Amino acid sequence: QKEVEQNSGPLSVPEGAIASLNCTYSDRGSQSFFWYRQYSGKSPELIMFIYSNGDKEDGRFTAQLNKASQYVSLLIRDSQPSDSATYLCAVIISGNQFYFGTGTSLTVIP
């Protein structure tokens, strides 16, 4: 079983809708959880991180963490065509080693 699993998509949503991206992780000892966005041909860039159960909001983005279910999600409100990218979920299990999912491709349709 992989440490981090994501639905590869592609996920398509209309402009203005809410995009919901999901990620599960296998190790209950996972400590910190990250969402990165990667545009085609570019390197990943951090959207946000979360390490406590519950929700964390930053502008149009909300990360949700449920440690009991080993589940972390990212909601993008009012989706824009510029949000079209691959979204990578990552976790730190111990120390400073990150484990990345394979990413979910999101397309926002104008």
Partner 1 sequence: KAGVTQTPRYLIKTRGQQVTLSCSPISGHRSVSWYQQTPGQGLQFLFEYFSETQRNKGNFPGRFSGRQFSNSRSEMNVSTLELGDSALYLCASSWGGLPPPSGANVLTFGAGSRLTVL
Instruction: Catalog residues that contact partner 1 under the rule CB under 8 A.
Output: 32, 34, 42-46, 49, 51, 88, 90, 92, 95-103
Nearest-approach distance from CB 44 to partner 1, in angstroms: 5
Strands (E), the chain: 4-6, 11-14, 19-25, 32-38, 45-50, 54-58, 61-66, 71-76, 85-92, 98-100, 104-109
Q: Which is nearer to partner 1, 25 or 34 (CB)?
A: 34
Closest residue by Cα to residue 31 from 6, 67, 56, 1: 67
Q: Which is nearer to partner 1, 76 or 92 (CB)?
A: 92
Provide the token pair at 46: 């951090």
Nearest to partner 1 of 73, 79 (CB atom)? 73
In whole angstroms, how close is the CB of 28 to partner 1 at the nearest point? 18
CB of 15 to partner 1, least distance (A): 27
